[in-house]
């Protein structure tokens, strides 16, 4: 049985995130578009930016580090509205509670996106 980090990787692969070279948007009306940014060779940012009272807000916006050799992926940061959480709070320091909670959230959110049809280049 795959662990959650392998599950996240497979879902990122299915959506097409890992093929993004720089930036992509997946539109699936009536849902808020999914924005994909490749921040570095192994870090991506996924966000949905709904408009609230005429202002675009990141809800959620999550950075994910990918290990292509191990085929795993883990959340690094999470932001939704005013809330911001970090998994690695300082060099060598891991907030395990944040890591576990954000991993579960990310895995669930990716499942929801797939269910809604957010697949790149279908």
pLDDT surpassing 80 at residue 9: yes
pLDDT for 53 = 75
pLDDT band at 1 (very low <50, low <70, confident <90, very high): low
- Residue 68: other Cβ atoms inside 10 A: 12
Q: What is the pTM of this model?
A: 0.91
**pLDDT band (50, 70, 90) for residue 122:** low
Task: Kindly report, residue by residue over 93-102, the tens digit of the pLDDT.
Answer: 999 999 999 9
Alpha-carbon torsion (41, 33, 25, 113), positive or negative: positive
Most trustworthy range by pLDDT among 7-11, 78-82, 88-92, 118-122 = 7-11
Domain boundaries, the chain: 4-115
Neighbours of 48 (CB within 10 A): 19
Q: Taking 70 as the threshold, does the pLDDT of residue 70 lie above it?
A: yes
CA 35, distance to chain mean position in Å, is: 10
**Does 65 score more than 70 pLDDT?**
yes
* Residue located via tokens 């996240």: 8
């Amino acid at each position: 049985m795959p662990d959650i980090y392998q599950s996240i990787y497979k879902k990122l692969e299915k959506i097409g995130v890992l093929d993004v070279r720089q930036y992509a948007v997946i539109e699936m009306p009536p849902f808020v578009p999914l924005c994909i940014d490749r921040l570095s060779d192994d870090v991506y940012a996924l966000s949905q930016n709904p408009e609230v009272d005429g202002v675009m807000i990141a809800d959620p916006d999550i950075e994910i580090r990918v290990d292509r050799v191990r085929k795993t992926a883990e959340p690094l940061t999470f932001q939704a509205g005013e809330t911001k959480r970090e998994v690695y709070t300082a060099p060598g320091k891991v907030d395990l509670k944040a890591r576990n909670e954000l991993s579960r959230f990310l895995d669930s959110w990716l499942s929801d996106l797939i269910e809604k049809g957010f697949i790149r280049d279908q």
